[in-house]
Structure 1
Amino acid sequence: QGTQVKDVVIKPDAPNTLLLDKHADYIAAYGSKKDDYEYTLSEYLRMSGIYWGLTVMDLMDQLHRMNRDEILEFIRSCQHECGGISASVGHDPHLLYTLSAVQILSLYDNLGSINVDKVVDPFHTLFGVAGLSLLGDEQIKPVNPVFCMPEDVLQRIGLHPELLS
């Protein structure tokens, strides 16, 4: 079996509490300096980064510290004619960023922020619809999270996937 190799040694005087205020301060400040090197390099994944940042802020009960109006305007500016949403302004729409945008809008209870009627391209909206279903939106049929297909369609074609528990 051998001995486990320790690549990190935690000193006895290392902090042993989670400093939520420090984490929230960092996330709330991230993106405030649009010319920062790190900010400009992360443009290609901005929408998902916003989603993860907002989610953790919500978990820390700090969502109110984020600029809701600026975020909603950013999402609107990333929606394309096809209905899909891109990672950032000037990028191509992608289903991953469409899902992240829908999740953000669900977090803010503001799906009306985008032009829902314009969201017609199933390729770009499939994961967004699956996300709405998983979030319990009553207007959306139950969607299987593995196949991102409506459960009733899977039943009609005789496919009964089992989820890992």
Structure 2
Amino acid sequence: MSSPFRKATSMGELEVEKHANYILSVEKKKDDFESVVMEHLRINGAYWGLTTLDLLGKIDEVNSEEVVSWVMKCQHESDIAGLQNDDGSFSGDMWGEVDTRFSYIAICSLALLHHLNKINVDKAVKYIVSCKNLDGGFGCTPGAESHAGQIFCCVGALAITGSLHHIDKNLLGWWLCERQVKSGGLNGRPEKLPDVCYSWWVLSSLIIIDRVHWIDKEKLVKYILDCQDKEKGGISDRPDDAVDVFHTYFGVAGLSLLEYPGLKAIDPAYALPVDVVNRIFFGR
């Protein structure tokens, strides 16, 4: 994929140092009120923040031993494989909610752990395919509306399992490229406002199915850069909104997919830096 961002300066610059400092400052506030009430998302926040720092080339500023120790304390005694249902779907936890997000999480996690053999992959794929719609997209369950976030989960899971032949790439590609609006940003469904997070959900899927050339990449990178807080760091969903770690990660990850200068490459299926994925699967 050729990079359209050789004129990055004319579109603005990614505030690398400020974004890294923003992520690090959020970690230091883990005991304030906002962090306490959002504690159920802290493991997600760690992933968003750490991956952002790695893509920015700033991961060495984190105490890795401290992070690993904390993550291990979050481990639950149940095994992922035990959450697969008879129809191939996955529940999110013991309470039984079924969603293709959980199919992706299970397949991605077990692949990274080299334990995909612990589940019935054929059934898992069959369930995901049953969530495909007439517009080429995918929903959270069979018959549910197509949504860019769910499409990433399904396309990513099918990519990891070598099952992309189940996708109508042209039909899905058109649905995804039509998510780009006048500002250059992407939305998750027709007639919705653009949101920086879809710079990941839509873009990664387009790359996996080899249809990313169907969108205007320069306009998208400008939209992401316009959502930066250039004074304090961080990226928001839309220009001039409040920043958060979630959108900072997806903004930086989107720019990485678009080969923005100076960022590490990210794998569109595993949502991890390419060098991390290579170490896991190839030891290099």
Q: Give the alignment's TM-score, normalised by structure 2.
A: 0.38
Q: Percent identity?
A: 20
Aligned equivalents of 2:189, 2:177: Cα separation in 1: 10
Q: CA separation in 2, counterparts of 1:143 and 1:37?
A: 32
RMSD: 3.6
* Displaced runs of 4 or more, over 6 A: none
Instruction: Name 1:54's counterpart in structure 2.
Output: 155
Contact in 2 for aligned 1:48/1:87 (Cα 8 Å): yes
Relative contact order (alpha carbons < 8 A, sep ≥ 6): 1 or 2 greater?
2
SS at match of 2:174: helix
- CA separation of 1:40 and 1:32: change in aligned 2, threshold 3 A: closer
Residue in 1 that maps onto 2:263: 143
- Aligned-pair distance for 1:54? 0.6
Q: Secondary structure at the match of 1:78?
A: coil
TM-score normalised according to structure 1 size: 0.61
Unpaired runs of 5+ residues, structure 1, are 1-5, 146-165
Residue 69 (str. 1) matches residue 69 (str. 2): no
Q: In 2, Cα distance between the equivalents of 1:42 and 1:116?
A: 26
CA contact (8 A) 1:129 1:140 kept: no
Correspondence list, 1:79-94, <5 A: 79-94=180-195
Q: CA deviation at 1:20?
A: 1.0
Superimposed CA distance per residue, residues 43-86 of structure 1 (whole angstroms, 9 cap, x where no aligned partner): 5xx11110111111111100111121121111122110001111
State the alpha-carbon separation in 2 of the partners of residues 82 and 39 from structure 1: 33
Q: Per-residue deviation at 1:131?
A: 3.4
Task: Map Cα deviations across residues 100-137 of structure 1 (whole Å, 9 max, x no partner).
Answer: 1111122223321112243232226974553352x5x6
- What one-letter code is carried by the residue in structure 2 that aligns with 1:115? D
- SS of equivalent to 1:104: helix
- CA displacement at 1:40 relative to structure 2: 7.0
- Could you say if the C-alpha distance between residues 94 and 21 of structure 1 is closer, same or farther in structure 2, counting changes exceeding 3 Å? same
The one-letter code sitting in structure 2 at the alignment partner of 1:52 is C
Q: Are the counterparts in 1 of residues 180 and 215 from structure 2 also a CA contact under 8 Å?
A: yes
Query: 1:102·1:128 contact (CA, 8 Å) conserved in 2?
Result: no
- Contact 1:80–1:93 (8 Å) recurs in 2: yes
> Residue in 2 aligned with 1:23?
124
Q: Cα gap change, 1:40/1:80 in structure 2, threshold over 3 Å: closer, same or farther?
A: farther
1:130 corresponds to which of 253, 256, 261: 253
Structure index of larger Rg: 1
Tell me, in whole angstroms, the C-alpha distance in 2 between the residues paired with 1:53 and 1:37.
9
Please tell me whether the aligned partners of residues 86 and 97 of structure 1 are also in contact (alpha carbons under 8 angstroms). Answer: yes
Q: Helix, strand or coil: the match of 1:75?
A: helix
Q: Relative to structure 1, is the Cα distance of residues 60 and 93 closer, same or farther in structure 2, using a 3 angstrom cutoff? A: same
